[in-house]
Amino acid sequence: MSYSIQLTNGTTLTEIVDGTIDQTTTDLTLIGKNATGYGVFVNDNFVHILENFANTSQPNNPIIGQLWFDTTQNRLKVYDGTQFKVTGGTLIGSTVPSSLTTGDIWINSATSQLYFNDGVSNILCGPLYTSTQGQSGFFVEDIVDNNKISHTIVYLYCAGTLLGIFSKDAFTPGSSITGFSGSIAVGFNASSLSGLEFNVPVTVASQLLDAAGSTHTADNFIQTTGNQTIVGSLTVQNSTPLILGPLSNNEIDISITLFQLKSNSPNQNFEIATLSQSGLSPAIFVEASSKSVGIFTNNPQYNLDVNGSINSSTTISAAGAITSGAALTGTALNVTASYTPATSSSTGVRGQITWDSQYVYVCTATNTWKRAALSTW
């Protein structure tokens, strides 16, 4: 009489004729009545079940629900009617396992990072950095201040080095923080890393750190546009401390022996003006093309043209003729170079004075000279 082998759901799997064995329907040997050597087959079946068919390749004749221990991956798998699927647990290895399916978790032992499979690809869960890169990125932690109050802060690391701390509270940490010193302010707090700076444009800043390590508030900033009032002194230690004009037209040059106001534009005039009740007046005017200097006139007719009196408490000296304006006063007038007009109608301008060993000559009108003889006493 044949044995009828039933599945758990009542379905007939197969029938085994008396005296025979079946090794093709399942991965266990099914034994018929009075089969020769049945004891070996029974024992083998128990061992195969006990080891879950442990092998590098899957069983040849699996049925739904059958377990198989994959010795290549060291994973227990179950047959779903189509394929053997991992039953659970975390895969560990230095390369991506080929059997990863939806929901599987894999630890990359080469980088110490955790991944999960979403059915399409392997997604990195963390950490974001590899073991060789060192701790990098943001880390959230609660720390206690010196009043025993807890605060949530966010650390920012790169390659194991603390760059700074973000906080919504201002407080003093109750214990020291590696890579940071001092109190924590609202916002970003830079670490004590030497040379740390932010190489980004800044639209708003309340403090700046100078090269000496001192902080300066916004009230100490110098604007580059608009009007700016500076209280105190400004020191610029540079041989060309100031350049002016849209085309760098003018500059100040400084050396140990010379202070120079310099024009970089050909034939550019120079003026120092004063403000009176009647408006601006040219106190000093230098006309570049004629090389003339005007005092309280912007239209000098001579190398030095003074619109007003000239006074000296000592001698007034000149290498050539002197033209007098409204007044010329002093203890002495020294005209060092002599000149003799050839005739009384020689070229001259009104007010010129000159001399030779015999006479003093005065030009009383254009090209009109008069003279007075010199004598001793």
- So what's the pLDDT on residue 332? 73
Interval 262-267 mean pLDDT: 92
pLDDT digits (tens, 9 = 90+) for 14-36: 999 999 999 999 999 999 999 99
Q: What confidence score (pLDDT) does residue 323 get?
A: 54
pTM: 0.45
The residue with tokens 């309340």 is 206
Residue 99, pLDDT above cutoff 90 = no
pLDDT at 122: 92
Q: How confident is the model at residue 328 (pLDDT cuts 50, 70, 90)?
A: low
Q: Is residue 12 part of a domain?
A: yes
Question: Which residues span the domain enclosing 211?
Answer: 134-224
Which tens digits make up the pLDDT trace of 38-54?
999 999 999 999 999 99
How confident is the prediction for the chain on average, in pLDDT?
89
Least confident of 96-105, 129-138, 148-157, 306-315: 306-315
Which of 200, 224, 248 is the last residue in one of the domains?
224
- In this structure, are 162 and 200 located in the same domain? yes
DSSP per residue, 267-313: T--EEEEEEETTEEEEEEEEETTTTEEEES-SS-SSSEEESS-EE-S
Look-up of token digits 């000592």: 314
Alpha-carbon separation of residue 216 from 29, 66, 93, 223 (angstroms): 88, 75, 54, 14
Q: Say if residue 207 is in the same domain as residue 256.
A: no
The single-letter DSSP state of residue 219 is G
For the segment 144-171, the average pLDDT, to the nearest whole number, is 96
Most confident listed range (68-82, 87-101, 144-158, 304-318): 144-158
Show the CA angle centred on residue 157, arms to residues 173 and 151, nearest 5°.
30
Are 190 and 262 part of one and the same domain? no
The pLDDT, as a whole number, for residue 314 is: 67
Rounded Cα distance, 244 and 74, in Å: 78
Overall number of domains in the chain: 4
Band (pLDDT 50/70/90 cuts) for residue 359 is very high
**DSSP-derived secondary structure letter, 173:** B
Q: Where does the pLDDT of residue 318 fall: very low under 50, low under 70, confident under 90, or very high at 90 and above?
A: low
Q: How far apart are CA 49 and CA 30, in angstroms?
A: 13
For residue 296, tell me if it sits in a domain: no
Task: Kindly state whether residues 159 and 216 are assigned to the same domain.
Answer: yes
Do residue 157 and residue 207 come from a single domain? Answer: yes
Give the length of the chain: 377
212 and 238 inside one domain? no
pLDDT > 60? residue 113: yes
3-state secondary structure 60-100: CCCCCCCEEEECCCCEEEEECCCCEEECCCEEEECCCCCCC
What would the mean pLDDT of 333-350 be, rounded to a whole number? 88
Q: Are residues 178 and 204 in the same domain?
A: yes
Same domain, 253 and 329: no
**Mean pLDDT, range 184-206, rounded to an integer:** 87
Q: Is 126 left (phi over 0), alpha (psi -120 to 50) or beta?
A: left
pLDDT, mean of residues 170-199: 93
DSSP state of 204: -
Residues 138 and 220 in one domain: yes
Summarize the confidence of residues 276-281 as an average pLDDT: 87
Are residues 145 and 202 part of one domain? yes
In a domain, 204, yes or no: yes
Whether 91 maps to a domain, the answer reads no
Say yes or no: 188 and 246 in one domain.
no
Q: Is 122 exposed, middle or buried (0-12, 13-18, 19+ CB in 10 A)?
A: middle
The Cβ of residue 300 has, within 10 Å, a number of other Cβ atoms equal to: 20
Asked whether residue 36 is domain-assigned, the answer is yes
Domain-located, residue 229: no
Report pLDDT digits (tens) over 211-225: 777 888 877 777 777
Confidence label for 372 from pLDDT (cuts 50, 70 and 90): very high
In percent, how much of the chain has pLDDT > 90? 63
| Residue 324 falls inside a structural domain | yes
Same domain assignment for residues 209 and 145: yes
Q: Is residue 338 part of a domain?
A: yes
